[in-house]
Structure 1
């Protein structure tokens, strides 16, 4: 007796495509369809009348000619949707992958790949010294940082802080400190290095930089990370929250030592500045305490996924983790 006939709906396409690490499913389908000159809908539903018994992972594996494990590892749709959460300790967002990494992996310098990135922590591709983070709306807007080693070093320091203190504390640190610096500069807090950095990033005659321009974020990124390092430290955070004026003065002195203001703050900005130093410390401390109260089981689950997430952080040319 012959074996039962099982119709095959999916078969390998003529031109296989490898998934990019952390790539979105939609991006991978677009690239696979473009490589084989066919509409995306034909990949998702090859037959209108004959349903497939394969699950989405197997379907994509067969079509792309890649092992199932490669699809599972690279495309995070199947990582329990954890990267899809807009909030939480592993908050992520969809951004353009480093155009140089894409060119190296795919052999196509003009191809764009959308990937899941950390909402707060992936700003620079360290191996390629390219700004890939905030306000980059297309691969063409990713700009070179070869002449700005302090910005690349800030990303490396950011990753070290992330490994040391974890995402609960660092998410809140980045959110609060980046907003703080945006408002602080409007109040007249001046650091010449930041100003010079912005001028070098946007030379004359096209020196006008829009408020949402990625160069503006990159110019102040080292100062943001320096502030994060201060607030991530339980010791300095405790001094900032202290009701003892001597303790708070010690914190204030350390802040101005690391980030010296080169012009006096406006009169109305001085009490706001002092209040913000305390407010930020309390907000970050709340995040740290919520992490402790999350429970042992949840902490273990988070730690397991957290270690896996850290494995996706860009490495240097030597293969070492950016540190």
Structure 2
């Protein structure tokens, strides 16, 4: 027996069922578990019961609640982690925080000029972008790129753009105001003012600092034309490198053997199909159940540690590289298996061919770090020869291999650091 609730409220667009039930329970001062028992059937959400209890038309719920969307969406185009959307858009939905399943390309609310970012701490304030209009412009460009290339290529290309920016932020030292790193530092000072790191720092704001350049790079990395140049002979590679250097504000850029994620992408990834997400919300055991994926139990501790480290050098590359958002392109299906996650990160910025001998002296070290990378012949790629835009999702013929790479354990840090 179910009873209709006296206070009605509509679900937000793409709100997860648990979030909607929690808001209804809060409005009626009920335990969420009690409300869940009224709307589930065989331990899964029953849409007809929910429509009766919430006093909402079934068609409205089917358009809004993620688990009830009919027809089902392309789950790979949506994040697998629910998160807060724009707090101003959701202000009309009372009862508590609204958790939504947003698309991979949703980083900015362009209506209210608010950064949404990738999944982050649910209680962290969302920054306004009035002083950073280029981030809002980048969101518009991101959507145009999605329309042209499709969700598969856009997803892979933007994440790869973030990866390249992260590595360069860690290793590039320049005061040239045309270089991308200058703009990352400038935006970081606005988003995370010096001296306020303990309260304003978040990984999401670091993503915001590099977002315009990540989209700029994605326009190349996702394009079949530029992919074919990157996979071509030395002349084509030089054209690609010159263009990517121009977009990064580094006119002298050449691909390097080590500490260069662009060279790694040209050698290993440009001629392969875009990497899909590791999983989808539909594939999770919690789908249509009473719970949803939660942040790691040590998320607050990690945020504090990252804020402390960022305070010392004001570089956000490490935060980006260690964020779960980039995992699908750090450990790709064809990546070599690594014992530790640090090895997987190092692998994304190194090449395997034409490497000079390991350095033993100062001059050898400089030569090693500045050795140029090039592929003498075009790479043979049947996929790249026949691919057309927009690219479709890469269909795995077997389950994704379990990654061997893992983060450091506490007792391993000193031992590894002494090597």
- The TM-score normalised by the length of structure 2 is 0.58
In structure 2, the CA distance between the partners of 1:83 and 1:95, relative to structure 1 (3 Å rule), is farther
In the TM superposition, 1:239-250 aligns within 5 A as 239-242=229-232, 244-250=233-239
Q: Is the 8 A contact 1:187 1:266 kept in 2?
A: no
CA deviation after TM superposition for structure 1 residue 153, in Å: 0.8
Aligned to 1:194: 184
Q: Answer yes or no: is 1:31 the counterpart of 2:16.
A: no
Q: Answer yes or no: is 1:43 the counterpart of 2:35.
A: yes
The separation in 2 between residues aligned to 1:276 and 1:116, in whole angstroms, is: 30
> Greater RCO between the two (CA within 8 Å, min separation 6)?
2
The separation in 2 between residues aligned to 1:262 and 1:251, in whole angstroms, is: 12
Q: Which moved more, 1:21-30 or 1:57-66?
A: 57-66
Q: Is the 8 A contact 1:197 1:219 kept in 2?
A: yes
Q: Answer yes or no: is 1:130 the counterpart of 2:114.
A: yes
Q: Answer yes or no: is 1:155 the counterpart of 2:105.
A: no
The separation in 1 between residues aligned to 2:13 and 2:49, in whole angstroms, is: 19
CA deviation after TM superposition for structure 1 residue 255, in Å: 0.8
Q: Is the 8 A contact 1:194 1:220 kept in 2?
A: yes
Q: Is the 8 A contact 1:96 1:137 kept in 2?
A: no
In structure 2, the CA distance between the partners of 1:90 and 1:257, relative to structure 1 (3 Å rule), is same
Q: Is the 8 A contact 2:107 2:115 kept in 1?
A: yes
Aligned to 2:48: 58
2:205 corresponds, among 215, 218, 236, to 215
1:111 partner SS: coil
Q: Is the 8 A contact 1:102 1:111 kept in 2?
A: no
The separation in 2 between residues aligned to 1:14 and 1:286, in whole angstroms, is: 47
Aligned to 2:221: 231
Please list the CA deviations of residues 161-210 of structure 1 after superposition, one character each: whole Å capped at 9, or x if unmatched: 11111111112112322222212222216521222111122223325899
Please list the CA deviations of residues 60-106 of structure 1 after superposition, one character each: whole Å capped at 9, or x if unmatched: 11111110101111001123796796xx4555321112111111x22
Q: Is there any run of 5+ residues in structure 1 with no aligned partner, and where?
A: 1-8, 300-323
The separation in 2 between residues aligned to 1:227 and 1:79, in whole angstroms, is: 33
1:102 corresponds, among 64, 83, 90, to 90
The separation in 2 between residues aligned to 1:277 and 1:209, in whole angstroms, is: 39
2:246 corresponds, among 232, 257, 261, to 257
CA deviation after TM superposition for structure 1 residue 217, in Å: 1.1
2:167 corresponds, among 183, 187, 191, to 183
Q: Which moved more, 1:279-288 or 1:224-233?
A: 279-288
Please list the CA deviations of residues 226-274 of structure 1 after superposition, one character each: whole Å capped at 9, or x if unmatched: 00011122211111110x2111111111111121138989987466643
CA deviation after TM superposition for structure 1 residue 160, in Å: 1.0
Q: Is there any run of 5+ residues in structure 2 with no aligned partner, and where?
A: 174-178, 277-381, 394-419
2:102 corresponds, among 117, 126, 142, to 117
CA deviation after TM superposition for structure 1 residue 12, in Å: 1.7
In structure 2, the CA distance between the partners of 1:182 and 1:84, relative to structure 1 (3 Å rule), is same
Q: Is the 8 A contact 1:94 1:117 kept in 2?
A: yes
1:165 corresponds, among 129, 136, 149, to 149
Q: Is the 8 A contact 1:94 1:115 kept in 2?
A: yes
Root mean square deviation of aligned Cα: 3.6
Aligned to 1:318: none
Q: Is the 8 A contact 1:239 1:248 kept in 2?
A: yes
The separation in 2 between residues aligned to 1:286 and 1:64, in whole angstroms, is: 40
2:9 corresponds, among 9, 17, 33, to 17
In the TM superposition, 1:304-323 aligns within 5 A as none
Aligned residues: 275
In structure 2, the CA distance between the partners of 1:219 and 1:276, relative to structure 1 (3 Å rule), is same
The separation in 2 between residues aligned to 1:268 and 1:234, in whole angstroms, is: 24
The separation in 1 between residues aligned to 2:188 and 2:50, in whole angstroms, is: 44
In structure 2, the CA distance between the partners of 1:89 and 1:27, relative to structure 1 (3 Å rule), is closer
